[in-house]
Amino acid sequence: MNAINRLAAVVALASLLPLSALAEGPGTVEVTHWWTSGGEKAAVDTLKKQIEADGFIWKDNAVAGGGGAAAMTVLKSRAVAGNPPAAAQVKGPDIQDWGSLGLLTELDDVSKANNWDGLLPKKVAEIMKYDGHYVAVPVNIHRVNWLWINPQVFEKAGASVPTTLDELFVAADKLKAAGFIPLAHGGQPWQDSTVFEDLVLSILGPKGYHAAFVDLDEATLTGAQMIEVFKTLQRLGTYMDPNRAGRDWNIAAAEVINGKAGMQIMGDWAKSEWTAAKKVAGKDYTCVPFPGTQGSFAYNIDSLVMFKLKDANDIKAQNDLAKVALEPKFQTVFNQNKGSLPVRQDMDMSQFDACTQKSAADFKEAEKGDGLQPSMAHNMATTLAVQGAIFDVVTNFLNDPKADPAKAVKQLNSAIKSAK
Amino acid sequence: MSTVAALNKASPLDALQRWLPKLVLAPSMLIVLVGFYGYIFWTLLISFTNSSFMPSYKWVGLTQYAKLMENDRWWVASKNLAVFGGLFIGISLLVGVLLAILLDQRIRREGFIRTVYLYPMALSMIVTGTAWKWLLNPGLGLDKMLRDWGWEGFRMDWLVDPDRVVYCLVIAAVWQASGFVMALFLAGLRGVDQSIIRAAQVDGASLPTIYLRIVLPSLRPVFFSALMILAHIAIKSFDLVAAMTAGGPGYSSDLPAMFMYSFTFSRGQMGMGSASAILMLGAILSILVPYLYSELRNKRHD
């Protein structure tokens, strides 16, 4: 009996230990994210090192899988249980959803002390604010409307870099005739919709794009131009590998890198694959805006939302994370690895390659007019429900060679209506 | 005095004896009641609300069910489950019985062959799905191999054909489960009294007749066990689809479980996801209740 009592006492004490250690030690910052690929991991490690150098404890909560769907499930259950992490990778309109639940903390002190209003582009700052206060910190800006080209393949086929949709089809025909796969593509719903969104931006222009995906305007969604988009999408489908079903985007990128395919329509994260293959931008590969979308910039911004915490030391650590994430050092390393554009507007762009420099120039240009538009396929323009409805129609259309564009437009409209 | 003392000593033990089973069962009972039936009820509740991104309790009646009925993807998923489940159970049973009968002929190296057929069951559906995804991929697997061997006209592109992709799922699932069905039936066949078979042979019955009319009908319980296990595998084959096709091309190989997961957890349409879960539960109950009813009634007669 005595032995059992003693054992019970030891167990009880042992279970108290980590609690007391937490209360007295330095603040901990726990981050839920899905930056798990090689380059992304390296980028997150720089963040971790900086936080630790500042005297805080970094608790990594990486949840891989499903393009963040798995991480979201974890985050939701933890938030409902009243035990959210300090920060989580949440972006776009979702920030407003989390804000309306009253779970996010206001970063007024950090944002004022570090002049976020001056550093961030106005449009980016808007997305990061809920009710006029910063609740999230942006880490990068991806451009979605890129076309990646292997110039050696283009040279062999006698094709030239396209700037309009017509030229795109001319180039594709030449590539096909020379025995290459004209367009590398993976048959996953988000990839299909990335191509679809580029076509909408190209054919309807940035204003029409906004009406279709942000305002969900019925006249635009059912208009003749939208039928034209679906027709073009169907035609583009004939230049893709018929065995593409389920292929990941990086496998498709590898086909272009290895010279099996001529080009790929993909956001600027594709560059990380080229970099990993030791290719140089402008020499071994060419990046151009998707034909017809010059001057437009479909953006996808990754950000970390900050949750309300109780422990004063943990809040200090959280504020430190918010500050470090926007510092030039992290912005440089992270964006060099991710292939994206730094969110700070005062960065020295000479450390970046030709594609990112072009991206930065185009961003400034697009910001002046209507050109800056949120990406639909990457959950920046609309709710997940509407995005899912669009994904279903587009992917089903592209996978059925006999599909009728006029019917697809009607399906798209009714699917969006029922998901709204 | 001594008898009173004995009584006093015995009675708390007796009480403990009476309460012990209930005490021991209470935690698991509670877990089942809350974790299983409680959450079924909660899902039912959510399916009548407009829950989107997080659960909310704004009552909208049957709207979510109406939306579900209009959703093309839901019908594709339901139809796929019917086709997949029917073909998978049917073919697995047929192949399993055939293999068992062939193995039952007292052949040499039986133990080795039995292991070979049974082994796929040791793999998880994720592994099966991934391996068959490579095998059936027209650019990599069987299709390419046969064409490289000179059979130029060969084309096996079911995996990328929206109309036929569900048959690819059947192929992979049958490969995995038929060995298990074989083992079940083989055990049953070994239990059949040899004297019955000899008597039938004396009466001049041929081997197929003996199996079809005498041996297999006596294996009715084995047949039902196999059917129940296969039905379970068919309904929970979420992982096979996730690994092999991820519901593609398009959403042509979606199953209701995949549909439920994607709407509830990744699309923020929790109400509609719950409605689909409740319909799935209804479908399972409509099979399970008559079965349980007949089972329990039979027991009482015995």
Q: Compute the nearest-CA separation of B268 from chain A (Å).
A: 6
Fold agreement between A28-140+302-354 and A146-299+366-419: yes
Examine the pLDDT at B295 and tell me if it is beyond 80: no
What helix, strand, coil percent values describe chain B, rounded to 5?
75, 0, 20
SS3 state of residue A30: strand
Q: Compute the nearest-CA separation of B285 from chain A (Å).
A: 28
Nearest to A246 among B162, B246, B265 (CB): B246
Q: What average pLDDT score do residues B2-16 get?
A: 64
Q: Vertex A405, ends A221 and B80: CA angle to 5°?
A: 100
B130 burial level (CB within 10 Å; 0-12, 13-18, 19+):
middle
Domain ranges of chain A: 28-140+302-354, 146-299+366-419
Q: What's the confidence (pLDDT) of residue A16?
A: 47
Nearest to A399 among B138, B250, B263 (CB): B250
* Cβ atoms B254, B80 nearer than 8 A: yes
Nearest to A395 among B245, B250, B265 (CB): B250
Q: How confident is the model at residue B8 (pLDDT cuts 50, 70, 90)?
A: low
Strands A146-149 and A261-265: antiparallel
Domain ranges of chain B: 1-46, 66-301
Residues of B in contact with A402 (CB under 8 A): none
B contact set with A (CB within 8 A)? 52-55, 67, 70-73, 133, 137-139, 157, 159-160, 162, 165, 245-246, 248-252, 262-263, 265-269
> Which CATH number, 3.40.190.10, 2.40.10.120, 3.40.50.720, 3.30.210.10, labels domain A146-299+366-419?
3.40.190.10
Q: Vertex A231, ends A229 and A233: CA angle to 5°?
A: 70
CA dist B76 and A42 (Å) reads 42
Residue that is written with structure tokens 């060099």 in the block: A336
Mutate: best of B50, B80, B135, B267, partner A, most A CBs <10 A:
B267
Examine the pLDDT at B7 and tell me if it is beyond 60: no
Q: Compute the nearest-CA separation of A278 from chain B (Å).
A: 27
SS3 state of residue B49: strand
- Taking domain B66-301, whether its CATH number is 1.10.3720.10 is answered by yes
Q: How many CB atoms lie within 10 A of CB B264?
A: 22
Q: Which CATH superfamily is domain A28-140+302-354 in?
A: Periplasmic binding protein-like II (3.40.190.10)
Residue of chain A whose alpha carbon sits nearest to that of B157: A243
Examine the pLDDT at B299 and tell me if it is beyond 80: no
Residues of A in contact with B162 (CB under 8 A): 399-400
Q: What's the confidence (pLDDT) of residue B238?
A: 86
Residues of B in contact with A245 (CB under 8 A): 159-160, 165, 245, 248-249
User: Cis peptide leading into B217, omega within 30 of 0?
Assistant: no
Nearest to A69 among B73, B138, B265 (CB): B265
Q: Is this prediction's ipTM beyond 0.90?
A: no
Q: Do A399 and B246 touch (CB under 8 A)?
A: no
Nearest to A187 among B55, B157, B248 (CB): B248
Residues of B in contact with A187 (CB under 8 A): 160, 248-249
Q: What's the confidence (pLDDT) of residue B300?
A: 53
Q: How confident is the model at residue B78 (pLDDT cuts 50, 70, 90)?
A: very high
Q: How confident is the model at residue B269 (pLDDT cuts 50, 70, 90)?
A: confident
Q: Compute the nearest-CA separation of B126 from chain A (Å).
A: 14
Q: Do A245 and B245 touch (CB under 8 A)?
A: yes
SS3 state of residue B267: coil
SS3 state of residue A265: strand
CA dist A37 and B218 (Å) reads 57
Q: What's the confidence (pLDDT) of residue A211?
A: 94
DSSP state of B50: -
Q: What's the confidence (pLDDT) of residue A17?
A: 46
CA dist A189 and A199 (Å) reads 15
Residues of A in contact with B251 (CB under 8 A): 189, 392, 395-396
Which residue spans within A91-244 are E strands per DSSP?
129-130, 133-134, 136-143, 146-149, 181-184
Could you list the mean pLDDT of each consecutive 10-residue stretch along chain A, which spans 420 residues? 55 48 71 82 85 91 77 85 90 87 90 91 91 93 94 93 94 94 92 95 94 93 94 95 86 92 92 87 92 93 92 90 90 87 88 90 90 92 89 91 91 88
Q: Compute the nearest-CA separation of A26 from chain B (Å).
A: 33
Nearest to B266 among A69, A101, A392 (CB): A69
